[in-house]
A and B are shown apart, each in its own frame.
Chain A
Amino acid sequence: EIVMTQSPATLSVSPGERATLSCRASQSVNSHLAWYQQKPGQAPRLLIYGASTRATGIPARFSGSGSGTEFTLTISSLQSEDFAVYYCQQYNNWPPYTFGQGTKLEIE
């Protein structure tokens, strides 16, 4: 089973600033990595798949990068609606599909 590790667990950033979230896989997942955003009381929403492709309707301020074992989600200029929990997920070696434990992005 591939273990996904996200860092940091909590990230405090001011609106308008850049946020950088990290995700590491215990072995290579190539570019088969997705990012999801989850707000309180809501279902997760797909942001990025293929490590760097934005899903339909996702603003350009969200970008993903990386391959192999190291991945990054960058939010270039934080808006109030971006404060949420973010999860990475690998779909290269499955079953099982595995998620990271999440990074909570909070307002500084």
Chain B
Amino acid sequence: EVELVESGGGLVQPGGSLRLSCAASGFTFSLYSMNWVRQAPGKGLEWVSYIGSSGDNTIHYVDSVKGRFIISRDSAKNSLFLQMNSLRDEDTALYFCVKGMGYCSGGSCYNWFDSWGQGTLVTVSS
């Protein structure tokens, strides 16, 4: 059974940094793309970042976090990370670690989100 367990959230002042971690188990972590998706309190879902499977260096970010957040993975430790710098009030949210599933065809890849962790809460406030 797939399990994704996030950690590292907390209260941080604007301009501060946090590093989120996600421990994955129950599947061959290196073979799958991974994502971070966030949900502000009482709001909907927002995709934040993508990292391809091991060996695929593809990384993407939503525009609002480009230059501030860095996604990475350690397949030896079955772990996903999100380094969050220069945090803003609007980054306050529950951050979910999400496993991608899908396929590639004609040079494009199509991935949906088939497993989600329970999330870790990041609160940015002075």
Indicate if the CB atoms of A91 and B110 lie closer than 8 Å. yes
Bound form: Cα–Cα A45–B118 in Å: 11
- By secondary structure, the B interface counts as strand
Bound form: Cα–Cα A94–B102 in Å: 13
Does residue B47 face the partner (Cβ distance < 8 Å to A)?
A: yes
Q: From residue 1 to 53 of chain B, which have CB atoms closer than 8 A to chain A?
A: 35, 44-47, 50
Does residue B81 face the partner (Cβ distance < 8 Å to A)?
A: no
Bound form: Cα–Cα A38–B43 in Å: 12
Bound form: Cα–Cα A46–B35 in Å: 15
B contact residues around A45 at 8 Å (CB): 116
Contact size range, B: 20 to 34
- By secondary structure, the A interface counts as loop
A98: nearest chain-B partner, CB-CB: B47
A contact residues around B61 at 8 Å (CB): 95
Indicate if the CB atoms of B113 and A36 lie closer than 8 Å. yes
Indicate if the CB atoms of A89 and B60 lie closer than 8 Å. no
Q: From residue 83 to 114 of chain B, which have CB atoms closer than 8 A to chain A?
A: 96, 101-102, 110-114
Indicate if the CB atoms of B112 and A96 lie closer than 8 Å. no
Indicate if the CB atoms of B44 and A99 lie closer than 8 Å. yes
A94/B60 contact (C-beta < 8 A), A49-B112, A55-B114 known: yes
10 contacts between A and B (CB under 8 A): A32-B110, A36-B113, A44-B113, A44-B116, A45-B116, A46-B112, A46-B115, A49-B112, A94-B50, A101-B44
Residues of A within 8 A of B (CB): 32, 34, 36, 38, 42-46, 49-50, 55, 87, 89, 91-92, 94-102
